[in-house]
Structure 1
């Protein structure tokens, strides 16, 4: 094995990572916000190669994403923050004595009446993480986000989390019965953080006689940082580390910015590592959003933890010591994504063929289900393609290929049957961007191939009909970049007022 690893270890839409070591395999979970299935689970034997093996939220009956829309928040510096509801900042933990894996998370609901956000906190669990069979959620009472589980030496279970509302949230702690969600103690504020906005993403660890509380502060953009405090009693008082923050890219010209929301863990050799989110950023261009990065750490007993800066490559001889094993195979179709509470009956999969039944609602809104299926963009530079059978029917429809972040930001290319045209659209409501381009289709008695080619700088759309390729666009990636929670998804969609309209697609390929 090499003594280096390529960062990000999970590229694309992969924020807020958390890791657990289970029977010699590392498992990582991410936030998923507005997509189903959610809470993706990745597995690795070597910390370098990560495979998508399932999703902890994989049945629509587990919870609802109906009100996981995206809010546009203007910032003081003239930019905007786009905050998407849904599944925030999960933590994965394994209880070796009972052989159970837990994922704890918050479903943030944005009420239709514009009232305060509703934080639906829950725990799901499994006895066999490879099975992809997870329990129904066990709810617990906590008005806040980013809960994390900690077991003390006496077997008692605790939850710490970021108590709402922001921006000056507080870190709270309480004892809990994980099987029922019942609180077994009062909820106690244990730390305010060091003064940065949005103290959140807490994780509690114990080393020797000390309890260590690791949190994120500064917001999840360029001020993001990791700070730590410790106490000899789990309830505090917590003493701040004099060298805080122990991780940040704030004020630097590093390529990987916004580093934060970190979880630290030990490998089989008791070496310390961290995973955190970060954003690959060149000027205003950061099309991939928040991704998962690996970093080496040190934590001598009785001392404070330290973490390396995040770089595009991790160089550490300890990677050679991580236990190897046979390759891990991905779970079939685990990476396919739908938006919010999709009508799954309108998406039929058979081998490499996908048949879509039309929705009346379009991706430009969130309140109604849409017909869309896609995958996370994983490559900074790549090509995604799909072939569409053009229906020979009188009904009007719009169908094609979409590069999607949320209802406010997307670029797409589709066939408009009523106008008999191919259409390109770019929309970013947060930046007041809206433009389109149309081309007459000519003979459409043939299959059409849609393609989007992307680099860090630009997206280029094209369609091929009858052997002729026609380009549309392009899109400067800065036009779809910005401060947000989510990442790019590339997929196919179908819109029509005729609910009986169906369109067949073949070989959806997303890099």
Structure 2
């Protein structure tokens, strides 16, 4: 879809108004002579959205069957014409067209908030996924699902705080663990990932391998390989030999069975389809062919998934005639930057692929970072994979396992509290009731050594966080400040906190606090902070009293500052900047 231009605006608005009022003859006339079906309004609503608003079944049918408009195409707020049809006769028609009902589908992204670079695996009837964690600890979250749609974090690949302090403690924001892969071999689960170092390190890219008997861990102390490259994955051939793949393109090297030794030099087997930033290689073997999947085009709006195949592991590889097999061509689409995918086969022989995507506010602010999508992958008669019938990412699709919803499975991502770089267990503890205790270390959030904050991923563009902070009886004096934070990395964040006699909100951008508002406040042992987020707008409340509204908060995303490797996503959480011991209780997030 395209936003109408100054030349097409008048015609587009006439068509939208006619569709909304149910004037089918006027809509048909405009389509025949002047209106472009691809035109949409500022919010991404298509002509089909307006036709459904007008409740004209005949017009809706005409637009779908004669103009090829999609009932499952979403506007910028992720609302489809199918959603708007609920409770009208059009809903049943769309059920027939789409092949599923509104209660029989899932919505992309399936994992929202910062869940980049998914790698997926099935063992038996269980699915497992890992995502990049960068410098957050515990590192490398492992999620479990029975139906490919509802996921819950069950463990982490790196949980040793001393090891994390050694390897993550001095890293700059955005570095750390990139693009992990999970695989299974001879009764053990393997996770590999790039450990991206600072630019002054002897090896700025190193590869980590760890394994466990159980998918949730505990995992062994990682082994680090000083081999340049990113996005490693492990492939086991039919003869039992094991290989690691790295970028650029797909380079392959043989490794020992346990992954702890490198047995050969990396060899390029396929550079890719586009020639631009080929990375994220994955291999699978099917029907005598080795299929090599790549992420290409960079991680922005040119991102894509491509594939090639060969009868021989080392090639030559033949590119797929349908490349790229996943790419968002629609600049107005709500889901963008689709790439970096790994396929998985279900027990009944179907195929799906998990891949990353991004969503933007006003088309430019990727506040949430990269998220995880899922789509079905089918094979042509001559053996080539095609994702979502070549239509790009889906917004809604039939549940892979509809019966799971009937069994009461709910969406539960379940992430633990995260800490930048590592965690000082002497300063932070979590109680069974979900409350957390933090003793401040005297460091502010811009300092790499700060260990007195806890964070979670911002779940969506609209949400409310609310925390109550209590001071213990033996604490007699506030030594600095404490509160909640909206956090991207040590270079950009917002603090909403209190001191002994003041409540304040401050925004930190690139080495300095750029704006602050404050009011007198008397802290009486307990205080409740609430921040309401609606896109770029943030509203701040204390003890249910409104304080401030900040519009256009653009610093808490990768586009808000050009500095270093800003590949993560918006976070929120709690902090203590001082020496006090404070207790935090989180209230339910309001979406």
Equivalent residue in structure 1 for 2:545, among 443, 453, 469: 469
1:228-250: CA deviations, max 9, x gaps?
A: 12222101112222332111125
Equivalent residue in structure 1 for 2:443, among 355, 361, 368: 361
Equivalent residue in structure 1 for 2:221, among 125, 132, 136: 136
Q: TM-score, length-normalised on structure 1?
A: 0.86
Provide the residue aligned with 2:320 in structure 1.
241
Q: Which moved more, 1:348-357 or 1:201-210?
A: 348-357
**In structure 2, do the counterparts of structure 1 residues 85 and 214 end up closer, same or farther at CA, with 3 Å as the change threshold?**
same
Provide the residue aligned with 1:127 in structure 2.
213
Q: Which has the higher helix share?
A: 2
Provide the residue aligned with 1:28 in structure 2.
129
Query: Pairwise mapping of residues 3-42 of structure 1 onto structure 2 (< 5 A)?
Result: 3-42=104-143
Contact 1:16-1:277 within 8 A present in 2 as well = yes
Contact 2:557-2:570 within 8 A present in 1 as well = no
Provide the residue aligned with 1:81 in structure 2.
none
- CA RMSD between the two structures: 2.7
Give the unaligned 5+ runs of structure 1. Answer: 71-83, 163-168
Provide the residue aligned with 1:76 in structure 2.
none
The alignment covers a number of residue pairs equal to 475
Q: Structure 1 CA distance, aligned partners of 2:462 and 2:568?
A: 19
Q: Which of these two proteins has the greater Rg computed from alpha carbons?
A: 2
Provide the residue aligned with 2:426 in structure 1.
345
Secondary structure of 2:112's counterpart equals: coil
Q: Structure 2 CA distance, aligned partners of 1:9 and 1:99?
A: 28
**In structure 2, do the counterparts of structure 1 residues 286 and 187 end up closer, same or farther at CA, with 3 Å as the change threshold?**
closer
**In structure 2, do the counterparts of structure 1 residues 245 and 334 end up closer, same or farther at CA, with 3 Å as the change threshold?**
closer
Structure having greater relative contact order (Cα 8 Å, sep ≥ 6):
1
Q: Structure 2 CA distance, aligned partners of 1:318 and 1:177?
A: 36
Secondary structure of 2:122's counterpart equals: strand
Contact 1:457-1:477 within 8 A present in 2 as well = yes
Query: Pairwise mapping of residues 277-296 of structure 1 onto structure 2 (< 5 A)?
Result: 277-282=356-361, 283-296=363-376
Deviation of 1:349 (Å): 2.0
Provide the residue aligned with 2:64 in structure 1.
none
1:87-135: CA deviations, max 9, x gaps?
A: 000011122xx22111111111105xx35652231211121224x3212
Provide the residue aligned with 1:264 in structure 2.
343
Secondary structure of 1:129's counterpart equals: coil
1:42-92: CA deviations, max 9, x gaps?
A: 11111121111111212224442123313xxxxxxxxxxxxx100000011
Contact 1:296-1:314 within 8 A present in 2 as well = no
Provide the residue aligned with 1:145 in structure 2.
230
Contact 1:27-1:41 within 8 A present in 2 as well = yes
Provide the residue aligned with 1:91 in structure 2.
181
Query: Pairwise mapping of residues 54-453 of structure 1 onto structure 2 (< 5 A)?
Result: 54-63=155-164, 64-70=167-173, 84-95=174-185, 98-111=186-199, 114=200, 118-130=204-216, 132-162=217-247, 169-250=248-329, 252-282=331-361, 283-300=363-380, 302-308=382-388, 309=391, 311=393, 313-316=395-398, 318-320=400-402, 327=409, 335-350=416-431, 351-366=433-448, 368-390=449-471, 393-417=476-500, 420-429=501-510, 434-441=514-521, 443-453=522-532
**In structure 2, do the counterparts of structure 1 residues 480 and 222 end up closer, same or farther at CA, with 3 Å as the change threshold?**
same
Secondary structure of 2:168's counterpart equals: coil
Contact 1:138-1:179 within 8 A present in 2 as well = no
1:317-368: CA deviations, max 9, x gaps?
A: 754488997859979x8511111123221112223332211122211132x1
Moved over 6 A (4+): 321-326, 328-331
Q: Structure 1 CA distance, aligned partners of 2:393 and 2:261?
A: 42
Q: Which has the higher strand share?
A: 1
Q: Structure 2 CA distance, aligned partners of 1:326 and 1:463?
A: 37
Contact 1:208-1:301 within 8 A present in 2 as well = no
